[in-house]
Structure 1
């Protein structure tokens, strides 16, 4: 059982990440072609039985939420079948300030209002704070959450890119549990494993991941969501491996895909799904074929030996 299912029983094992929807980050509008491609990606996710969608107010500078909102508006009754999650608090550089993070009550509340407007919905199922604001006033965040909850605009709250001390600090002023923490975790980005394996060893200093965060989330039923879960196709044909370890891992992924009679994408995601913390991969591809290939991960049960074979190949050397 996924931790998130304590709060949302209908939650999927996979989340569709909407960062690629809406067209270019550099253009102010979404062309018809980009809109159609976005709709096709959404439909591919739905066809793969994915009902959990991850957004952020900054994705393609708001256009990702807007195009998704257009899709919802065109499909009456669909909203109630979905879990929609969005993130806020990253502010881009502008004429008056550098890029920064903003956990002020005013900014959080206004960000949610704008996301709801773009998404053409009355509520978010989950709101995540995108990256830790070093000027965070926890009582002010709590006030923002309470107001949004009381108004029915957000059902539950979580964070993204938080270590366990930050989670614990914020949780100390909240009456309800933080339900999710979204972190960079994949077969390529292994610090979440390496820091534990190399505990009390000098090599561990090179693999910072806020020691204990995975265990804290596991203990407190905070859903770990893995962004970058496909490693941008590094091991499944999306881009060419660069290092010897990456090349060896790609070969092993292909071999295991053949053995399990599944897709390379499924093997890459099954590596995350095997972990007892109940990791929920966020997939960001807009390719319908790759979305369908990802869904096959739900039928793969990697053996312990195959899981460790992938880990050792990806780390490029034997375990200590």
Structure 2
């Protein structure tokens, strides 16, 4: 498995991240198989959120299942996200909610610390001083080792950084070959012939590269906003033809090629996979073995429906 050394953060974390959102549907035994399959494939980074499942059910399932794997806590990198409070119909970055959320996550995950904590989508009325106070308390207590954000734009990050002293080392953002807005904007700038020229995120990709923030790409096989996978989808014939071509060349699945396309980007991103199928997890891990050339990357990009202006 390809590894990354995160600036201002941990060294040698796996390039692929096992997302645990769908773990609520599994038994403890089946969840343990997923964890072990990911680990055996070299994926040592596990991503959670307080909102995955009712009352943090995904975290609770992971905590119960992890005991069955025979793995040690120090063998893995455990990340969770807080801030989404769907039961209250609000996003909440208050100090009280951050601290309470971490305590609840630690209890459910059955661990003493999180390797990283991300703020999960922006609270529209957040007070950066409260975030800073919460982060200081969590760092000093040893309950959180690293910090970051999810789905946060550059000036929101700048406002946070004005007050938060800890490095913000991750930004979790949607990205796939089909949903490539993070990348498209630079190509189509000032082009009235396509709405892809619209800057929808304040050039977050370039900002993260400039400020040594590692992007974690979520929904890497999805089109639209959770509308399903584009792999083997008849609505994407050219893309699947290109994926199949490279999959046969590399001896991997089409999904692995789609993940490798993200890993090829010089931003050195991580990619979050969400499968709960051990076979699919192993196949996804093959993405780290794939080497795509500059030409290969563009061929796949254009096959997804983009064009060169």
Query: 2:260 aligns to what SS in structure 1?
Result: helix
Query: 1:182 aligns to what SS in structure 2?
Result: strand
Distance 1:3 1:241 in 2: 38
Q: 1:126·1:156 contact (CA, 8 Å) conserved in 2?
A: yes
Q: 1:191·1:207 contact (CA, 8 Å) conserved in 2?
A: no
Aligned 1:128-277 pairs, distance under 5 A: 128-202=118-192, 203-204=194-195, 207-231=198-222, 234-237=229-232, 240-242=233-235, 246-277=236-267
Distance 1:210 1:16 in 2: 25
Q: 2:5·2:13 contact (CA, 8 Å) conserved in 1?
A: no
- 1:3: Cα distance to partner? 5.6
Q: 2:188·2:197 contact (CA, 8 Å) conserved in 1?
A: no
Distance 1:40 1:13 in 2: 21
Q: 1:52·1:82 contact (CA, 8 Å) conserved in 2?
A: yes
TM superposition score normalised by structure 2? 0.92
Aligned residue in 2 for 1:319: 308
Structure 2: unaligned runs, 5 residues or longer: none
Structure 1: unaligned runs, 5 residues or longer: 24-32
Distance 1:138 1:171 in 2: 8
Distance 1:189 1:77 in 2: 35
Distance 2:33 2:68 in 1: 14
Distance 1:293 1:5 in 2: 29
How many residues were matched structurally?
A: 301
Distance 1:114 1:21 in 2: 18
Aligned residue in 1 for 2:28: 35
Distance 1:108 1:195 in 2: 33
Distance 1:10 1:85 in 2: 15
Distance 1:272 1:283 in 2: 12
Distance 2:68 2:280 in 1: 25
- 1:209: Cα distance to partner? 3.4
Q: 1:122·1:153 contact (CA, 8 Å) conserved in 2?
A: yes
Aligned residue in 1 for 2:45: 52
- 1:211: Cα distance to partner? 2.9
Q: 2:181·2:196 contact (CA, 8 Å) conserved in 1?
A: no
The root-mean-square deviation of aligned C-alpha atoms, in Å, is 1.8
Q: 1:194·1:204 contact (CA, 8 Å) conserved in 2?
A: no
